[in-house]
């Protein structure tokens, strides 16, 4: 599979990433605050049924997901005005063996500074045309391929 509209997708993703750049520090700070609270026993993580099922289907266990949430980086976010919550896409590379890593993307909703709601978990290699070569930036936003 390949992107059907690479020029259009490039324009759209550039606009999105440019817009996200302005608030990325705030979102990253919120994730750091959550991580500190979680490590102190004051934070909580819950899973949508979809995330739990998909995580198992895609061979991600809770240990993998927790490792990614505590060590990954925010690659995308948006603010949902209706719920007044940030939605984030976190990227991490799970170490499988020396020199072998598996990318993981986790979509989360920041319900508060001490609670993350995991919406879904996936390996971006399942749709490689949608991502740059190291799976850290979206390059295709086509609805279907």
Q: Is residue 100 part of a domain?
A: yes
Q: Is residue 1 part of a domain?
A: no
Given a contact cutoff of 8 angstroms between Cβ atoms, the answer to whether 130 and 12 are in contact is no
Q: Is residue 136 part of a domain?
A: no
Q: Is residue 21 part of a domain?
A: yes
Q: What is the pLDDT of residue 118?
A: 96
The residues near 122 (Cβ < 8 Å, ≥ 6 apart) are 54, 58, 104, 105
Q: Is residue 46 part of a domain?
A: yes
* Phi, psi (degrees; rounded to nearest 5) at 72: -75, 180
- Structural domains counted in the chain: 1
Q: Is residue 145 part of a domain?
A: no
For the chain, the farthest-separated pair of C-alpha atoms sits apart, in whole angstroms, at 47
pLDDT digits (tens, 9 = 90+) for 93-124: 999 999 999 999 999 999 988 999 999 999 99
Range of the domain at 99: 6-130
Q: Residue 32 is inside which H or E element, if any?
A: helix 24-39
Q: Is residue 138 part of a domain?
A: no
Closest Cα partner for 56 from 43, 47, 44, 46?
Answer: 47
Q: Is residue 85 part of a domain?
A: yes
Q: Global pTM? A: 0.92
């Amino acid at each position: 599979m390949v992107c059907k509209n690479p020029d259009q997708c490039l324009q759209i993703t550039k606009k999105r990433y440019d817009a996200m750049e302005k608030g990325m520090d705030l979102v990253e700070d919120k994730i750091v605050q959550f991580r500190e609270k979680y490590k102190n026993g004051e934070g909580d993580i819950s899973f949508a049924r979809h995330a739990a099922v998909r995580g198992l289907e895609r061979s991600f266990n809770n240990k993998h997901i927790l490792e990614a949430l505590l060590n990954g980086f925010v690659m995308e976010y948006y603010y949902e005005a209706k719920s007044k919550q940030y939605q984030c896409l976190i990227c991490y590379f799970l170490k499988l063996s020396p020199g072998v890593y598996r990318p993981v993307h986790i979509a989360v909703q920041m319900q508060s500074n001490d609670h993350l709601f995991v919406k879904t978990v996936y390996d971006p290699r399942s749709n490689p045309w949608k991502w740059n070569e190291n799976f850290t930036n979206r390059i295709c936003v086509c609805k279907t391929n």
